[in-house]
Chain A
Amino acid sequence: MNCVELRKSLAEIETGGSAEQQAHLKSCPECSALVADLNLLAAAAVKLRAAHEPSPRVWNSIEIALRQEGLVHPPHAGRSLIPSFSSRWAWARWMVPAAAALLIAVGVYVRQQSTPVQLTSNTARPAVSATASDLGVAGLNDDDLLQEVSEQMPAMKAECIDNLRRVNQYIEDAKSDLAANPNDEDARRSLLEAYQQKAMLFELAMDRSLP
């Protein structure tokens, strides 16, 4: 092995290196010194990262320069509407779009209920959909929530079951009220609020079950 071949194969030296490489290093002071320098740099770089992290002012200056060049744009003013999730929430991120989809499905359902129904002798009024089918549109159901809570925090399962029972009863009662009073705007709004309570239950119950 010559010096050129050794330098091409430098990555293998980290893992011990072959007999040829070791033999060349023993006989070649220049290559040996090079490998020693590289090892020293690698060790120092790790310490440098921890001890000499640039101050926030450096990053701010870089950001300002990038903005002046039009390469980045300032963030929108005001609060973000979507809460940020740390990595430990990653597996539960499906809850956010699912909860949003639930509310959209609710809005569509409530709007459909607000359309005047022309009753005739031959027309049957459509039955009120069960909560399970509404949630099925959004990909959420009670069993999913209970399973997650059981796995993450079994002590909270009983409370979760009780909360689900209350909020499902709320939804059913609101549906009945709307069905009995289809022109009652408050009844329609109450149904939406009931679904929002359930979406909140999903959101906060999952939050509680996370370690």
Chain B
Amino acid sequence: MSGIAPREPRVKNRLVVAHKPSDQVVALLTFGAVALCFPAFFGGDSYTMSIATEAVIYALITVTLNLLIGFGGQISLGQAGLVAVGGYAGALIGAHLGGFPFPLEVLAAGLATAVVGFFLGLPTGRLRGHYLAIATLGFGLIVPQVATNWSSLTGARDGLIVNAPQIGSITFGGPVSLYYATLAVAAVAVAALLAILQSSSGRAFAAVRDSEHAAAAMGVNVWRTKVTLFTTSAFFAGVAGDLFVHLEGIVSPDSFPFSLSLFFLAAVVVGGLASIWGSIAGGILLTIVGAKTSGSGGLEPVIIGGTVVLLLLLSPGGLAELPRRLLSGIRGLSLRELSLGRRRISFRGSIRKVRNRA
């Protein structure tokens, strides 16, 4: 412990939360348990069940976006576009191959979206920051436009009807059975994502995020990793898209506006970057906020936007970082220190430190 060497400044703005896998698993099991028991209390109310199903789907999408943004360090303002591709793929399979088993349909939707994600990742793998943001923004806007114009395939503005998912002779038509079918798929998806993140692939994503040079020196092919990241995120977004259109019963270009991409972005940030349970919490929270305010005619975006702004100013690490912040608060951080990005010289007794605020 040298007292003379200059102390390296802490990473400014604890943006990425990155809980240990063991923490994640506990939180996820808790979510899982609650989710399983949910219909026992609310199964009778089909409106609540559909909101719950929507929450599961939105939580999953938020996780896929967090994979890209939090774990991978990229940016995307167009996740809704990928969800749309998955949704349309699932709808088309259902329309042309009646009776296709649900698990295979989900897989196929994911694969179709993965292909699109791959082609999206190729050019965007070279982009950064605002360029990347705007390019993905463009993508998110293009998909509904293409859907509108490719009327022979997609039914244009009218969209396509989507039937209930089925496996063989079992149809998951009712609100509770659809909820469970959705939950099952989402759980498998999250488990797969966890497996990826805890492996060398997940480490490669994080390495590219934290230091591209060091990553390359460790043998990580940076561009290929970014493309893989986009493709993977797209796959699971496509899976979620298929779940989404089964819930809605219909898919049309209007189902995927830019505001939806914003919604997921907000959920990721609110929940905390690089935290799976944070994303699930964020997705669920915003779904509830959205459901509660949808009737208020225009206030919904204000509330969501306002929530995001306030939360960012107070806790850049989002919900996932809140426990840590609250604990630190008990240890005596002042409220002033909770704002973002300012250097401060603090005098604590006789020790003078230059600190970046977390």
The finding on whether chains A and B are genuine partners in a shared complex, rather than unrelated, reads no
Q: Which residues of B pack against A, CB within 8 Å?
A: none
